[in-house]
Amino acid sequence: RNNLDGLSPGAFHSCGLNRNGRGFCWGSNQWGNLGNGSLEPSLVPTQVSGLSNLVQITAGRRHSCAVTATGRASCWGENEDGQLGDATQTDRSLPVRVFGSRLRFTAISAGSAHSCALRRDARVMCWGNNEAGQLGDRSNDSSARPVLVRFP
């Protein structure tokens, strides 16, 4: 069936998660934010390539991210500010793993040009645009790699 267990509307696209742990996105795809290896828009849900056993998917402004049952985080789409967290600023039409091979997450959220994720140890990490301090690391320096949010 075409039922979704999770749904996340972004600015120009939407993503959802089915009961089998597969991710689907639809809408604008100018930056590869549907994660299917193409830049063509889709009026219907299209499966995100290369990811399975997903527990969460999130759509941001022009990028998307997901977390697997094993805690691996991947993102795809626009990456001008490093919001994919893969230590580059290269747009990706296919999912790429968030930098840090040992990092494990339980939740993730894509913002306008940054992303944040909750680690298994309850710490928070963010990456991407930081002009307004949205990475929470006590700086205004953007980062293409996850940085630890510093609580008081």
Q: For each of the chain's 152 residues, which pLDDT tens digit applies?
A: 568 888 999 999 999 999 999 999 999 999 999 999 999 999 999 999 999 999 999 999 999 999 999 999 999 999 999 999 999 999 999 999 999 889 999 999 999 999 999 999 999 999 999 999 999 999 999 999 999 999 98
Tokens standing for residue 136: 């929470």
Q: Would you state the pLDDT for residue 80?
A: 98
Q: Say how far apart CA 60 and CA 33 lie, in whole Å.
A: 9
pLDDT recorded at residue 6: 87
CA 102, CA 125: separation in Å to the nearest integer? 13
**Residue 71 CA: distances (Å) to CA of 20, 56, 114, 123:** 16, 10, 19, 14
Q: What is the pLDDT of residue 1?
A: 55
Q: Give the burial string for 86-113 (b: 16+ CB within 10 Å, else e).
A: bbeeebbbebbebbbeebebeebbbbbb
Planar angle of CA 135, 61, 101, nearest 5 degrees? 50
Determine the length of the chain.
152
First to last CA, the chain: 47
